[in-house]
Structure 1
């Protein structure tokens, strides 16, 4: 059965192509920056308080920050995450709902996490806002009911990421860079979360949510003398304690540059990251040169990586770099997502850009533009209370000079092109880089091997493995026709399949940031008509129709009629079971046996499309379709699962399509030969 959801894919791919490069601001005379000085005092329990008075607006912001050392959680990774979400979910004085109602009444914002709390609002309510924040942070009631809700949501989120290429790439990158036993290298799993108990969260809170390394930063329309009394009243009873001090060996870079590969057979594109660790402190003399060098290389749409991989070659939607800095070892990385066919070429171009910035002086204009962007952003951000609070905290916790931020622009402007080259050689390594590629091994690995670099293989959790067998030989008695025939038999047999005249499917799905689930409806008949619709409540978001006279899509109130090759493609997709006639079509071939989501699958090539059939069951697992979108070649995979029998024919009750994220559609109702009329396709 062919249910390729072109309407959904076209929407999200069109939105993805609309990214624009933001013009660089023109350099002007450097403004004079004055940052409010903080009035500091310390409570007997060790809580350090910094007050920055600013009476321009009748507003105030509070930030309670715990500057504890990072720690690994071992086989109970997830304790801190759960604790973070439990904090503030009801206190000994008020319920969660009553707390939230009063926050809304005051027009305030209050939030909590494992590293502290934050609040903001009108200064006339400052006392009550701080009281609510202190109550939520210090008097949280940890209930089993709330714990179970949070745990269930986390487990569901992990399950949804099992097939996410981006999620796997991020996890493996940290495991390999820092080590699985390092705070920055360990990862959440269903196994680790299931081991966490409510008592673990309570213990974590008691041991780590303490005032010993805590800072309370207050910025806004308050008077230090008055607010000091309020702080002493609200936080003075916080029991004196210091969080455990745990140290870890610094992670090491690889002894030689190498490619690390993770096979994801369902990948429609490759995730590439070129990584090495860095130990860059804000107090280092080369700090400003380092952040500017990163800006020139890949700090945005005007960075060299972006201009090379996207603007010049059209291989990706974006390519960027970042450099970490602070009290602990961080990483420098260059990254992008590209289609499989250009994975090796993209690796080469990233390495070329890294070599170029290490060996050649950047132009004066490049440096000038990078400085202009940093200074512009700095001037804009300095107006925000949250920024002032962060700078005040950095000054204390990172041992910065008192005038560090007042001299920030002067320090940026002092960087030379020679400085850029020097820091690029120090922090953008040449001989000790890890090139991590997560992608489809059958299409990517051979070309990467031709780069003649050491290549090592890992599973989806960063464990080293032997080189996988990406494609197996096909048994002599298996042909593409026998695979298609086996599929027809698997879903019910030719007689039962040919008896299907209409199929109606109803289901639901979710998309990021959507306020509620979306409803999915699909109706199709054996005459080549199709109606697919995605709606939010009564509002139709997208609707695609194929009928006797043509095909069109309705999207955001706009109708587009398909013509030419697009119309032909739409009509070819509007069939119930393409396998009935596919063996008679020219250009069909059996390409091999591949690993697909942990199962061996026959891969059948149908022009630019690839169909995957489970070797064991015969059921269709997926269809990978290559299309042109915005002048770029895009491969999109639709996965089929949870087959159930309806009137003697097995149909998938789960369809997952990658549209920049995984659109997971679960069917609640599927009917055959009922519920579909000609009027559905008007």
Structure 2
């Protein structure tokens, strides 16, 4: 009974308390919490190395971070030398062979990595003395070996080769080159030619010139004692020869003279990379630094920002649209707003991004947007404080950026003080549509005509053209004529003849294929089987586990996605039947409803464009007759999604040519499947379709 009475009293108390609160009004925010960051203890070696130590005894771990705060380096006709230098560091030393070095680091459960002007290590605190010794030895006594240099050079050249047709890599390269200029450290282009200019002697010279202690900071944070750190650092880093890096000058980047669209034609692009950029001059110590960060977050800082809501949620142009602003004490940097969009809406996306930038500079943001942006920054800031590396970076920033000692202690207080007017002033100062450079990297034949019609603020925006290395060029010519007498049937017949001839294809009753691709370091396996009896099986596996499977057996079929089975609808069955044919061109020819739409550039070659259906287009090389690409469009959750299959490396199996390289691109993701095995009229059983 007493319990019941107590419960009743508590309930009445809670109701009364609830009645006194006006739920229609948002509670007033409390004062910004005080941030207590432990200031590092410091000392400096005679060679100029500055050391910061933050003791934190909560966990038995230690983190070591070496940063050499040099101005950016212009590498010129040997661009790539810094990358090669970094790739050769951290692989043992003159005192410890590479394999022995790796083995000991693994045994200690430690991590050690060294860049061309930085180094990092982490370990249990009981191993700190040895890990610091290993880090210092590898950083100060690198063993530059010709054989190792050749390996790293080959890897770098292979990476550059793989980027030749990578639309995102091309876009990134051209965007920074046009923003900063190719004679600026942040805009210069690393190419096969410049890498081939680099010798082992150049790497050694770069190391001697720039891996020096004059601007170096060593931050040690974790379960350590200051005096012990000082003793060990003095012992292992005093041999670092005192030196100052070379100094040189380069022109600061400037904005375009007028707002313009710069088009980079990449014929194999299945979507466009759109960036609107301008030059900014923002430093961390600027009074409006936080104002600029908040303005950027409201514009394009995430899924709640204006660009994302406009281009994705409202228009359905893209998977996401964002913006970024950068600070740097050495050089003006760039602000950019960007998105990957479908070819058909490239021009519209350009206009929408420009309008959003213009709107945030000309109209005050709402109090709700401001409050949300502040809350996001405050939350991220507080959570980041839990990580030791954050404390280390904050301590380093105070030293290198010339910040006041209480910069981070008062961070939340200053963030809370940012007003709507502050945001608008920062946007007007750092975002521009009057001198903006709009860089569009995509399939020119699909996008240029509409881009040349883009109008902003009542004026047509001029369109200029650049190649994949940011060199100005002429407008691409897509006027290649279709040879007289050529039609869809002729092209299909040429393809059939090119891969083996109709008689050979008619003799195929079944075939199976196994292919592999890499996805974020994991193996992706594709197994496909087809017969002439409307039987089809496709199984996609990740690390040996089936993720997606589709099966058709005559007039019935099903799909299994992540273990969930679903029977195919009659409409879906008909679509799968279209794909189940080993050689669908035989069906196209028999149906006679394929049309020739012209000639387009696909990769490095011109190809005939055939309209297979309202949702599917196929391209056939004008010279070889081989199929090089298929583009399919379908509606997914109310948005048009484009899927592209690229075909290459044709090889003969049982007298028929099959593509042994298949590149599948859906949205921003691309997978390059390499065929491992194809079997014709064997390896397929009726049980495969059950």
Measure the CA separation in 2 of the matches of 1:194 and 1:27. Answer: 60
- Shift of residue 639 of structure 1? 0.7
Who is 1:465 aligned against?
473
Q: 1:106 to 1:265 in 2, by over 3 A?
A: same
1:604, CA displacement in angstroms? 0.7
Partner residue, 2:538: 532
Once the two structures are superposed, residues 516-561 of structure 1 have per-residue CA deviations (whole angstroms, 9 ceiling, x without a partner) of: x344333222223222333456543443322224233334333333
Task: Give me the whole-angstrom Cα distance separating, in 1, the residues matched to 2:503 and 2:90.
Answer: 61
5+ residue gaps, structure 1, are: 1-24
Residue by residue over 1:152-173, the C-alpha shift from the partner in whole angstroms, topping out at 9 and shown as x without a partner, is: 3333333332222211111110
> In the alignment, is residue 417 of structure 1 matched against residue 426 of structure 2?
no
Q: Does 1:373 align with 2:376?
A: yes
Distance 1:449 1:218 in 2: 56
CA drift of 1:28 comes to 5.3
Give the structure 2 partner of residue 641 of structure 1. 648
Partner of 2:594: 588
CA distance in 2 between counterparts of 1:437 and 1:281 reads 28
Find the counterpart in structure 1 of residue 482 from structure 2: 474
Match status 1:135 vs 2:141: no
How far, CA to CA, are the matches of 1:303 and 1:257 in structure 2? 24
Task: For 1:458 and 1:561, locate their aligned partners in 2 and report how far apart those are by CA, in whole Å.
Answer: 50
Match of 2:557 among 538, 551, 555: 551
In structure 1, C-alpha distance between the alignment counterparts of 2:657 and 2:530, rounded to whole Å: 16
Deviations 1:46-89 (A, max 9, x none): 11111122333333211110111111222332221122121111
2:679 is the alignment partner of 1:671: yes
Partner of 2:242: 240
SS at structure 2 position matched to 1:184 = coil
Which residue of structure 1 aligns with residue 669 of structure 2? Answer: 661
For residue 26 of structure 1, report the CA deviation from its aligned partner.
11
Pair 1:488-2:496 in alignment = yes
Higher relative contact order (CA 8 A, sep 6+): 1
Bigger drift between 580-589 and 166-175 goes to 580-589
For residues 609 and 359 of structure 1, the distance between their equivalents in structure 2, rounded to whole angstroms, comes to 44
> How much has 1:678 moved relative to structure 2?
2.4
1:565 matched to 2:568:
no
Distance 1:157 1:543 in 2: 33
Larger gyration radius, structure 1 or structure 2: 2
Provide, for residues 427-448 of structure 1, a one-character-per-residue CA deviation record: whole Å limited to 9, x for no partner: 1112100111112222211111
Q: Distance in 2 between matches of 1:539 and 1:304?
A: 39
Gap change, CA 1:203 and 1:353, over 3 Å in 2: same
CA distance in 2, matches of 1:630, 1:78: 44
- Partner SS for 1:524: strand
Q: Is 1:507–1:520's contact at 8 Å kept on the other side of the alignment?
A: yes
**Equivalent in the alignment of 1:321:** 323
Aligned position for 1:14 = none
Please identify, of 498-507 and 461-470, the stretch whose mean Cα deviation from structure 2 is larger: 498-507
Shift of 1:466: 0.8
Q: TM-score, normalised by structure 1?
A: 0.92
1:183-219: CA deviation from partner (whole Å, max 9, x where unpaired): 1112333333333333332222222111111110112
Aligned equivalents of 1:306, 1:537: Cα separation in 2 = 33
Is 1:37 matched with 2:39?
A: yes
Among 501, 505, 516, which residue is 2:513 paired with?
505
Point out 4+ residue stretches in structure 1 off by more than 4 angstroms.
25-28
Return the alpha-carbon distance in structure 2 between the equivalents of residues 168 and 550 of structure 1: 45
1:332 aligned residue: 335
Within-5 A mapping of 1:258-407:
258-327=260-329, 328-407=331-410
Which stretch shifts more, 55-64 or 432-441? 55-64
1:30 and 1:566 map into 2 onto residues whose CA distance is 57
Q: Does 1:216 align with 2:218?
A: yes
Q: What is the distance in 1 between the residues matched to 2:572 and 2:433?
A: 47
TM-score w.r.t. length of structure 2: 0.91
Counterpart position of 2:14: none
CA contact (8 A) 2:525 2:544 kept: no
Shift of 1:149: 3.2
Corresponding position of 2:78:
76
How many residue pairs get matched? 656
Checking the alignment, whether the CA contact within 8 Å between 1:471 and 1:595 is kept in structure 2 is: no
Q: Is the 8 A contact 1:27 1:369 kept in 2?
A: no
Where does residue 620 of structure 2 map in the other structure?
613
* TM-fit CA distance, 1:248: 1.3
Matched-pair contact (CA < 8 Å) for 2:601–2:607: yes
Map residues 19-38 of structure 1 onto 2, 5 A cutoff: 29-38=31-40
